[in-house]
Amino acid sequence: MSTKTSRLPPRAGASLRRRLLGLFSVCLAAVLLPMSFSGGAVATPAIGAALHGSALEMRWITSAFMLAFGGCLMAAGACADAFGRKRIFLLGVGCLLLTSLALAMSRTALSVDWLRALQGVAAAATLAGGGASLAQDFDGYARARAYGLLGTTFGAGLAFGPLLAGTLIARFGWQGVFIATAVVAALALGIGICSVRESRDAAAAGLDWPGTLSFTGALSCFTYGVIQAPALGTTAPEVIVALALAGVLAFAFVVIERRVAHPMLDLSLFRYVRFIGVQMLPIATCCCYIVLLVLLPLRFIGVHGDNEVVAGLRMMALSLPVLVMPFIATQLARRMPAGVLCSTGLVLAAAGLAWLARAASSPEAGALSPSLWPMLLIGAGSAIPWGLMDGLSVNVVPTDRAGMAMGIFNTTRVASEGVALAIVGAVLIAMISAQLPDLHGTVTPDVARAAVNRLVAGDLHGAATSVPAWSEAALRSAYERAFATLLDGLAIVTLLCAAVVLACLSGKPRTHAAALDESSADTALR
């Protein structure tokens, strides 16, 4: 009889413990990212009321975070490969800790906006460095489980972020949200220092500065122009210059990336239909799900007058399916083509949006309201592609460029979220303005635009005070009609995305080896 034992050797056991602690550190830091996003939306009305911020400053509380997050992800991924994945991860978590503490001590809304932008940069470094480090510590099925756990932590942050933020605000004020973020970041930083293994790509060429600056500049100018347009008017020189500069920088980015030896984004990947389909998935889920994470808390708190805890409870109807449906989707993907499964989920989400548009005008009753069931349907439908798109993206970029792979896909995800939030906010403002009665010169257009901006930012009382001719009842009615129309528009956009996804992902998923062969063949042809 053999005397061998099945227990791991001491060195192997220590390595496993280190890797598991590293995974825990990355997941702990990663849960802060969606909580910073969804929790920030819940805190916006309280921050605006406490710091007397303008409507524009309140809109930037969320947009500044998302803009910096999306604009820096690809650069952070390249830096992780070139300078060390652990180093970039720890730098990101440390900056999250410091910016969160600074936010808790802020005394003006403008300082909150700038610190939220810095927090977005830190979030990009955290996600890119932490996600890439996992690819070096885990292989095969263990890697899939590690990334699955990472996705679950994102779902937990989205599901419980609004409720946790509401509870902290009710107990400690809006500063409690950022203090809690700092505490968790400190814990993740301490564990990560001891457990995350340093690694880098020896072939990495470093940061593509021209590509990084042109991409971030184009994204920033476009978002700035879209957000400023409702406040200044679409014909304002500041808006026109920002949008024109965004177009110039976007063109420059394409030219730079086609000519540079080591591009930040390999544009040749867009020749592959499946790559386009994968990138469409985060855009679609953004339209049917992410924008609601910002719009609905502002509507519940700022327009309906709910407290933050009730608003957080309501938001759980939208986000709780993200904890369950991704696992179900991965099981169904063994029997159904990914394109069919993802497009089906988007169709369900579109149906939920149309349903919510009709339920929006019904009377709300505490945390349980007519909006509950359509929000559950939206959450369940959008969670199906949410659970599959990270895995599908692996077939597009070789795994030895893990930082690049994480940067490309997540940049599409986060950048589209920031841009969509800006566009949807501007459209909602325009729709509300069209619903309100003409004041016939009793107030200036600037004052009227500022009032509508304040309403969309979650300050119904402030909007009515600035324009007494518009009562709170009239403003609320105009908001609800415009909001319902907006939801119908988002449903149509989601259906169009579902059609594109079905067309692009209708075939069988390629193996990783096939992706590498195709990439090598393309390189040889260029």
pLDDT digits (tens, 9 = 90+) for 257-274: 888 777 767 676 677 777
**Residue 450 in contact with residue 55, Cβ under 8 Å?**
yes
Q: What count of other Cβ atoms lies within 10 Å of the Cβ of residue 14?
A: 11
The whole-angstrom separation of Cα 153 and Cα 149 is 6
pLDDT at residue 519, rounded to an integer: 42
Tokens of 405: 């792979």
Which residues contact residue 146 at a Cβ distance below 8 angstroms, ignoring those fewer than 6 apart? 23, 134, 137, 138
Which residues contact residue 487 at a Cβ distance below 8 angstroms, ignoring those fewer than 6 apart? 353, 354, 356, 357, 360
For the stretch 144-162, pLDDT in tens is: 678 777 877 877 887 788 8
**Rounded to 5°, angle at Cα 404 from 97 and 412:** 80
The whole-angstrom separation of Cα 378 and Cα 317 is 9
CATH architecture of the domain 16-207+264-520 equals Up-down Bundle (1.20)
**Residue 379 in contact with residue 289, Cβ under 8 Å?**
yes
Q: CA–CA distance from 324 to each of 113, 153, 379 (Å)? A: 34, 12, 10
pLDDT at residue 316, rounded to an integer: 87
Percent helix, strand, coil in the chain, to 5, is 80, 0, 20
pLDDT at residue 3, rounded to an integer: 43
Which residues contact residue 209 at a Cβ distance below 8 angstroms, ignoring those fewer than 6 apart? none
| Alpha carbons within 13 A on the beta-carbon side of 349 | 38
Nearest CA to 295 out of 484, 515, 35 is that of 484
**Residue 467 in contact with residue 487, Cβ under 8 Å?**
no
pLDDT at residue 368, rounded to an integer: 53
Helix boundaries (H) for 31-174: 32-51, 55-83, 85-104, 109-137, 140-172
**Residue 42 in contact with residue 292, Cβ under 8 Å?**
no
pLDDT at residue 394, rounded to an integer: 57
Tokens of 229: 């347009």
Dihedral over alpha carbons 514, 516, 521, 524 (to 10 degrees): -170
Nearest CA to 151 out of 420, 384, 372, 421 is that of 384
The whole-angstrom separation of Cα 183 and Cα 354 is 40
The whole-angstrom separation of Cα 178 and Cα 176 is 5
Residue with tokens 């809304």: 109
Tokens of 302: 């700022």
Q: How long, in residues, is the chain?
A: 526
The whole-angstrom separation of Cα 443 and Cα 374 is 39
Question: 367-390 as b/e, with b when 16 or more CB fall inside 10 Å?
Answer: bebbbbebbbbbbbbbbbbbbbbb
For the stretch 450-485, pLDDT in tens is: 888 888 888 888 888 888 888 888 899 999 999 999
Which residue ranges of the chain lie beneath pLDDT 50?
A: 1-11, 365-367, 396, 401-403, 509-526
Residue with tokens 């347009």: 229
